[in-house]
Amino acid sequence: MMADVAGGFDHIVVGGGTAGCLLAARLSEDSTRRVCLIEAGGSARKLAVKVPSGIVMAQRDPALNWRFSTVPQPHLDHRRIPAPRGRGLGGSALINGMVYFRGNPRDFDDWAASGATGWSFREVLPYFRRSERNENFGGSPWHGRDGPMNVRVVTHPNPLNFSFFDALKSLGQVYREDLNGADSEGMSLRQLSIRDGRRETTASALLQPALGRSNLTVLTGTHATRVLLQERRAVAVEVHSPQGTTVVKARRDIVLCAGAFQSPQLLMLSGIGDGAELAPFGIELIHHLPAVGRNLHDHLASPVHMAMRNATSYGMSWRALPRSLWNVFEYLLLQRGPLANNIFESAAFVKSSAGLDRPDIQLVFQPAKRPSPKFPYPVGHGFAVSPVGLYPRSRGRVTLASADPFIAPLIDPNLLSAPEDLQPLIDGMRLARRIFATPAFAQYAATETAPGPAAQTDAELEAYVRAEAYTVHHPVGTCRMGSAASGIDAVVDPQLRVIGIDNLRVADASVFPSLIGGNTNAAVVMVAEKAADMILGRPPLPPESPDGSAIEQR
């Protein structure tokens, strides 16, 4: 396909992940524009991707996962924390939990207040709705029903989910049918990006139908090594493939959609970043932009695990063998059942104190034991709650390890460097224990395996967090969006243009000014939808009232 690049393109999109696939498809809807999508991985058409319950198999496949890890984290017992990122058309949506959650509406108002003008919740809600085809809430003013991406609530959930809900209700929490509505506080079955029992990504929902367009070129197995600039104007992307190294030229925008680790890496390799940090690598400084790679942060989780002899949970055992065999046939014949879900079937969003304006802890419920290192499905039976601290204050950075574009960058989220990030995890673990001590769970006669009954004091729970906590793979912020007027160091302006460089934008999770209160994939889809309108010169969609009162039904 390299011969197709000689004439140049109007737009080049670097990175075929969630944002890149959507953006390339949307831009190519204008038949007058030639669009090129560059992806280092392959087509990613694998069984582990298609079957929703195959999450662990997908994550363990090196063809689908860059397999990054952090540098040793001094506040987590100097451990290197896995930082998986998807590789192939679909990106991290190939290996994520398929959760469709937008965050709390106030999160986006915070973005706007921090300098990301035009990104308040009223202004981003129509972009969430545009991409969505929600099977359960499509008639609601909060959701789309005619978009390309299918979303549905967990089907045929494990009975343990309802014990989880009963326990939370007994502790004063509320059940909400839709956590993507006006208020995210409460518990519910999760909404998932799944269609007809198969994982849904922007690659399957938008890019695949667009591949027949003559104005769209998709280069897989092609690694972008740097952006070429002329007088601070992006003009081309240097790429390497099995056919060699070549240059793909752009007449208009080049858009980086390589994610929170690789978009800043590519900017730095191209001479855009902190000059003092680029000099030791022999990289010529084109534009001093010290915010590149900074502001990295992620969600941290610290689970409470329970084991039991009761076979209600998902898991491999002789007692569960007949059910497991039926589940396989059920999926093969009808594309439904546990294999058509994501295992992490329900969640709750709670406040650690009554005075907060939004939940600061997510409780992720898993009606199964954790998978073993050697087998991708749980062996035996149990369940777990993973408390997630939703608004970490710790900030880290991404820096270069080498001028070689094939060497991974140094990833340092600096987890728990802000002492206040610890308490929500301890509070969440104590709440998980209260949940498991309610009558709703008594019938299972489960025992705690981690952190274990011996860990009772805050100091003992803190030690467990430092020894066992992990991120839930929501890295953001390394190409932060903002404005000069806000006084905040930023990499892109509210139009997603790299500050000080013409014809170069970033559109992925790296532009998030701050983490949203939950899973990030749906918000990345929204960013790409909004970016498409900006690049095509369309006026933004009209803002919609966050209380639903003035939202037109569609």
Check if the beta carbon of residue 92 is closer than 8 Å to that of residue 21. Answer: no
Instruction: Determine whether 240 is an active site residue.
Output: no
How far, in Å, CA of 242 to CA of 111, rounded?
A: 41
Task: Given the residues 299, 305, 473, 474, select the one marked as catalytic.
Answer: 474
| Structure tokens that stand for 424 in this block | 């929500």
Check if the beta carbon of residue 233 is closer than 8 Å to that of residue 501. Answer: yes
How far, in Å, CA of 389 to CA of 265, rounded?
A: 27
How far, in Å, CA of 147 to CA of 38, rounded?
A: 25
Closest C-alpha among 229, 147, 130 to residue 195 = 147
How far, in Å, CA of 355 to CA of 384, rounded?
A: 28
- In the three-class reduction of DSSP (H, G, I as helix; E, B as strand; rest coil), residue 147 is classed as coil
| Structure tokens that stand for 537 in this block | 């010169």
How far, in Å, CA of 424 to CA of 427, rounded?
A: 5
Q: Which residues pair with 364 in a beta bridge?
A: 347, 386
Closest C-alpha among 432, 413, 488 to residue 164 = 432
- In the three-class reduction of DSSP (H, G, I as helix; E, B as strand; rest coil), residue 256 is classed as strand
Burial class of 313 by CB neighbour count within 10 A (0 to 12, 13 to 18, 19+): buried
How far, in Å, CA of 36 to CA of 22, rounded?
A: 12
Count the Cβ atoms, other than its own, within 10 Å of residue 210: 21
Burial class of 552 by CB neighbour count within 10 A (0 to 12, 13 to 18, 19+): exposed
Residue with the two structure tokens 């966050």: 546
* Sheet of strand 11-14: strand arrangement: 216-219, 35-38, 11-14, 254-256, 504-506
Count the Cβ atoms, other than its own, within 10 Å of residue 375: 11
Contacts 24+ apart (CB under 8 A), 167-173: 167/435, 167/436, 167/438, 167/440, 167/441, 168/348, 168/435, 170/438, 170/439, 170/440, 171/431, 171/434, 171/435, 171/438, 173/348, 173/350
Q: Which residues contact 236 (CB under 8 A, 6 or more apart)?
A: 12, 227, 228, 247, 248, 249, 250, 254
Closest C-alpha among 543, 525, 527, 524 to residue 535 = 527
Check if the beta carbon of residue 150 is closer than 8 Å to that of residue 205. Answer: yes
Q: Which residues pair with 248 in a beta bridge?
A: 237
Catalytically annotated residues: 474
